[in-house]
Chain A
């Protein structure tokens, strides 16, 4: 397993280079323009000068290699300097956003907290709801609990967040006045009271996203549990006199986790990627909002950098999932 892991990690480098180049090509090819959002009162020749100053018109390869060099060399050094205080950061330009003309990494760092708070929490909440829901639904198949759970999770998955978000705002922010409808990104948690404020402002987006995540995971878990509950080893385990609790929660659950682990690992990078629509509805202004605004305004460096970090996480978590399969089912071998 160790050699496999090392081999996969080495292989990840050419994979990521390839992925980053493909992403770059797509982003460059897509017909958006950094001056598109400017008012029409700004004349075309001024727009051309703006594009020129941003380097939009350079050859694609030049732009890609400039970006790559900054991404894999300069930016990590800046990160080290920022984290430790060692003066290792090189002089010279960084990856600069077209819209803000400021370093892209600073923008990402600024938006990480709210994205992790909202999307991260919602993911944990989703898993915490999904596990019992999936297990009980499968164990008591076609019981009232299962029927209600199926109904809620299907509705939760098929009603889009642009609607549930607004619905929650209308009910809980407008009519009941319990929670704020606008997320305050400058709020800092220092004590219990400020934590309660934070809790109030994340609860609606977390529930909206959590419901969606829980639906998906619980469906896979339920299906997989159902498959396993009929297996011979379950009968054997029961025949051996193991308690029902141990049979279901240890043997069956462990063997049912493979698709669940896949789905969870697949979506963890998405936590970093933020949630475009939910962030917009609640004005969370995290990574998802950064990405969508960057796409809309043709901000290639931001789109490219965020997508690249996303790709790194995807490659990493697909490796983690593969290792976890081996843990869950020792018969799985890759060598």
Chain B
């Protein structure tokens, strides 16, 4: 994001009629097409998007093709390597790894995306408000300190004790835990985003284009959405990528501690954790979930890169 971009954007709110007129003449097509055009030129982003779509198809459509039950135990086939019957092998109870990768991917991707979105939303909100409004800064940042200092495990134990049964009653055993886990991961991982965004906003709001916009009486809401948010997109994108990885891994740590999903409910993180002990004997068991997590995070990272470039009007114009 650049100042040039903002200079062209800044007058727009002041003279809406003119801007609208300008758009009807010069922009016969939706600006998202421009974004897409720019996005298409980013090879990494296209590859990332392709892989991400492939992963989504694998975990959500895959089970329709590969109909094996991820919880079905075939004890005679335990610890088997890849074969036609089990393309990714089986685990120590003879459960099919491919079916478990699909089922686990659904949970992991859902947890990763929603928890990341929640953390990002909270972090950006707190960061922008604290950076922009000096009156809120102290209170919001001390709250951030509080959340940073909180020991996660006891907090989880308390939350589970208080909320598991009501949630289970409302959303079912798996749905309840899903809501709980997403909420807990989101609520305990927004602080870094908040601090990074606040720092950027603190610096941005002393820049000339912001001072200029303010001097012509731009209201705070517009200042934030038009001038500040677009300029903190890059750290937010980085937080988003790191956030997904963080959520997937935190979820596996929680299952390991007995605070996550029921044990017969696979997730990528949990598959990786369970496979770690088998590293020397059945190395292929760690490869599948390990690769799935890394490549998904990598693809999201590239999509983020491409999106950031595509959303930047100055790069888009190049």
Contacts and interface: CB of A to CB of B under 8 A. Distances in A.
Interface of A: 11, 15, 18-19, 22-23, 26-27, 29-32, 142, 147, 150-151, 154-155, 157-160, 162-163, 166-167, 170, 174, 216, 219-220, 223-224, 226-227, 230-232, 258-259, 261-263, 266, 269, 277, 291-292, 295, 303, 307, 310-311, 314-315, 318, 321, 325, 329, 331-334
Contact of B298 (A19, A30, A155, A224): A155
A4 to B, nearest CB: 11
B200 to A, nearest CB: 6
B290 interface: yes
Contacts of A167: 279
A19 B149 CA distance: 8
B113 to A, nearest CB: 14
**Chain B's interface: helix, strand, loop or mixed, by majority?**
helix
Closest 6 CB pairs of A and B: A311-B149, A331-B206, A30-B154, A158-B245, A158-B297, A223-B234
Contacts of B158: 26, 29-31
Contacts of B200: 258-259
Interface of B: 1-4, 44, 134, 137-138, 141-142, 144-146, 148-151, 153-155, 157-158, 161, 191-192, 195-196, 199-200, 202-203, 206-207, 231, 234-235, 237-238, 241-242, 245, 248-249, 252-253, 256, 269, 272-273, 276-277, 279-280, 286, 290, 293-294, 296-298, 301, 308, 314-315
A314 B145 contact: yes
Contacts of B44: 142, 147
Residue among A155, A163, A314, A329 facing the most chain B CB atoms (10 A cut-off): A163
B294 A216 contact: no
Given A31-B157, A160-B252, A166-B279, 15 more contacts: A19-B146, A30-B155, A32-B154, A157-B245, A158-B245, A163-B272, A166-B277, A174-B280, A220-B235, A259-B199, A262-B199, A266-B192, A310-B149, A318-B141, A331-B207
A332 B238 CA distance: 23
Contact of A158 (B195, B207, B298): B298
28 contacts: A18-B146, A31-B157, A32-B154, A155-B298, A158-B293, A158-B294, A159-B290, A159-B293, A160-B253, A160-B272, A162-B256, A219-B238, A219-B241, A223-B235, A223-B308, A227-B231, A230-B315, A258-B199, A259-B235, A291-B151, A307-B149, A314-B148, A314-B149, A318-B141, A318-B144, A329-B206, A331-B206, A332-B206
B249 A158 contact: yes
Contacts of A259: 196, 199-200, 235
Contacts of A219: 238, 241-242, 301
Nearest to A277: B253
A295 B308 CA distance: 42
A332 B202 contact: yes
Nearest to B246: A157
A29 B141 CA distance: 25
Contacts of B249: 158, 160
B157 A318 contact: no
A220 B195 CA distance: 13
A232 B308 CA distance: 19
